Amino acid sequence: MNEQNKLWGGRFSAASSDLMERFSQSVSFDRKLYRQDIAGSVAHARMLEKQGILAAAEFQQIERGLAELRDEIESGRFDWSVSHEDVHMNIEAALTKKVGDAGKKLHTGRSRNDQVATDMRLYLREEVDGICAGITRVQNEIVKRAGRESGTVMPGFTHMQAAQPVTFGHHLLAWNEMLERDHERFRDCRRRINVCPLGCAALAGTGFPLDREMTARELGFEGVSANSLDAVSDRDFMMEFAAAAAMMMVHFSRMAEELVLWSSPAFDFIELSDEFCTGSSIMPQKKNPDVAELLRGKSGRAIGNLVALLTLMKGQPLAYNRDNQEDKEPVFDTVETLKLCLAVFAAMMPGITAKRENMRTAAAAGFSTATDLADYLVRRQVPFRDAHEIVGKLVACALEQGVALHELSLGQFRGFCRDIGEDVYDLLTLDGSVASRNHVGGTAPDSVRQAAEEAALRLRARTADAG
C-alpha cells in the first residue's frame, strides 16, 4: 500500500493535508448509505463471479466480509475514518483489511461514480415508498374527516373575503386532491429513479464482460441506464424528487396556514388538540399553534434544498464532477423533513375539532348567498349582468338597513325586481345554497359524501396495490 494509505494513492507522493481531508470528506454524511453501498457491492461481486471475473471463493469472502461489516456498522463497532473520505472507500478499505486480496478485486469494472449514483437511487427508491405510504396515511385522515363534515357549512373565501358558503368536508377534500397529485408525482418520479447505473464505471463504461442486466435484477431495478456518461452524472432524479417534495411541502404549508387562521380567536373555526400546541412563557392565556407553524416553516427547507440541487447542476459539463458530492445533504434533509411532517400531520388531524356553529355563523355573514340570488333571477330569464346589478343594489339596501338579505321583505325585493317570488327565501339560506351545488366537484353535502366515499375507495385500492 502507498505511504498515506489511500485507495487511490499510487500516483501521489505527498500526503493529503488535514484541511484537504476535512474539506473533501463526505463520510460524515454519506455513511447513511452503507446499506445501499453494501447491497450494490454484493450484487456487483455476484455478477463478477458469474462472469468468471471473480473466483467462487473470492465472491464468498467478499459476501461474508460485507455481511460482517454491516453488522459492525449497525452495532456501532465500525471505525469510520475521514482519511478514507467517503462511505465507499471506508467500506472497501475495511473489507480488504478483513479478507485481503479478494477485497481488492471488488472494484473491478466499477467506479465510485457509478457506485454512488446507484447508492442514491437505491436510497431514494426506498424513501419514496415510505413517503408515499405516509401521504396515504394523511389522506386517509383527511378523507375520513371530510365524510363526517359533509354537511358542515363554512364560508368559502376568495381574497380572504367570505365569498360563498361551502361545506367543511368540501374544503378538506380540496386538501386531499392536492395530496393525491403529490402522491402521483412521487410514484412517477420513482419510475425514473429505478434504473441501474452500475456497469457504467467512471464515465465510459468498462472493457470487462459485465452482465449489467443481472446486477440490475439483483438490486430490483427496472432496467439499466442507456448511456454511461449520462448515468454517472445525471442527478435529475434527485431534482425531480426534490421538486415533488417542495411542492408537497408548499401544500402542507398552505394547509397549515389555514389551521393557524382557523384556530385563531378571530376565526374560532377549529380547536387544535393540546398535544399539538404550546403555551407562551410569558402570556398565560395563550395556546399557540406551533406545530402548524412549523409545518408551514419547514417548507422553506424543502424549497431551499430544491434550489440548492438545481444550482449545483446548472454549470456542470458531462460527466461526473466532484460538485455532485454536494447533492446528498439537501436530499437527505428533504427526506427527513418530509417523513417527519407527514407523521405529524397524520397524528394532528384526529385532534382537530370543528366548531360547527361558529363556522355557520361566519358563513351567514357577508351576503354570501348573493350569487345564488343572481342565479335565481337568471333562471327567471333576467340576463346575468342585469341580475348582478339588481343584486348589487339589494346588497347595498340591506347594508344600509343593517340586515341580512333574507331579512328584507318580499315587498322590498320586488321593489328592485318584479320577478322575485316568495320562494326566494329558500335559496337565501346557507343550506339551500350549498345543496344546490350538487354536481361532481361541487360543495353540496350529497356530492361531498359521495366524493369522500370514492376517495376512500381509491385510497384503499392504493394500499392494497402497495401490499
Estimate the crossing angle of helix 370-379 against helix 384-401, to 10 degrees: 140
State the nearest-atom distance from the C-beta of 86 to ligand ARG, in Å. Answer: 4
Q: Of the listed 17, 75, 159, 409, which one is catalytic?
A: 159
State the nearest-atom distance from the C-beta of 178 to ligand ARG, in Å. Answer: 34
Question: Annotated catalytic, 26?
Answer: no
Cell of 342: 407527514
State the nearest-atom distance from the C-beta of 134 to ligand ARG, in Å. Answer: 27
* C-alpha span between 279 and 288 (Å, rounded): 6
Residues 6+ apart with CB under 8 A from 379: none
State the nearest-atom distance from the C-beta of 145 to ligand ARG, in Å. Answer: 43
Between 118 and 324, whose beta carbon lies closer to ligand ARG? Answer: 324
CB 318: neighbour CB atoms within 10 A? 12
DSSP 64-89: HHHHHHHHHHHTT-----GGG-SHHH
Long-range contacts from 17-26, C-beta under 8 angstroms, 24+ separation: 21/82, 21/83, 21/85, 22/82, 24/85, 25/82, 25/85, 25/86, 26/85, 26/86, 26/87, 26/325, 26/328
Phi, psi of 224 (to 5 degrees): -110, 150
Do 278 and 235 form a contact (C-beta atoms < 8 A)?
no
Task: Give the CA distances from residue 307 to residues 44, 243, 259, 312, in Å, rounded to whole numbers and listed in that order.
Answer: 34, 9, 27, 8
* C-alpha span between 359 and 171 (Å, rounded): 12
State the nearest-atom distance from the C-beta of 330 to ligand ARG, in Å. Answer: 13
Task: Give the CA distances from residue 226 to residues 21, 116, 339, 374, in Å, rounded to whole numbers and listed in that order.
Answer: 35, 17, 32, 61
State the nearest-atom distance from the C-beta of 328 to ligand ARG, in Å. Answer: 6
Do 49 and 218 form a contact (C-beta atoms < 8 A)?
no
* C-alpha span between 21 and 88 (Å, rounded): 15
* C-alpha span between 327 and 339 (Å, rounded): 19
Between 116 and 373, whose beta carbon lies closer to ligand ARG? Answer: 116
Residue 392 identity: G
Between 30 and 127, whose beta carbon lies closer to ligand ARG? Answer: 30
Between 331 and 342, whose beta carbon lies closer to ligand ARG? Answer: 331
Cell of 384: 346575468
Residues 6+ apart with CB under 8 A from 292: 256, 257, 259, 260, 263, 272, 276, 348
Question: Using CB under 6 A as the criterion, which residues of the chain lie in contact with ligand ARG when the complex forms?
Answer: 26, 30, 86, 112-113, 116, 320, 322, 324-325
State yes or no: cis peptide before 94, omega within 30 of 0: no
Long-range contacts from 314-321, C-beta under 8 angstroms, 24+ separation: 316/233, 318/203, 318/229, 318/230, 318/233, 319/113, 319/202, 319/203, 319/228, 319/229, 319/230, 319/232, 319/233, 320/113, 320/202, 320/203, 320/232, 320/233, 321/233
State the nearest-atom distance from the C-beta of 25 to ligand ARG, in Å. Answer: 9
Question: Annotated catalytic, 159?
Answer: yes
State the nearest-atom distance from the C-beta of 331 to ligand ARG, in Å. Answer: 11
Q: Cell 435529475 maps to which residue?
A: 236
Between 320 and 345, whose beta carbon lies closer to ligand ARG? Answer: 320
Between 92 and 127, whose beta carbon lies closer to ligand ARG? Answer: 92
State the nearest-atom distance from the C-beta of 226 to ligand ARG, in Å. Answer: 21
Q: Of the listed 24, 28, 264, 280, which one is catalytic?
A: 280
Query: Catalytic residues, which ones?
Result: 159, 280
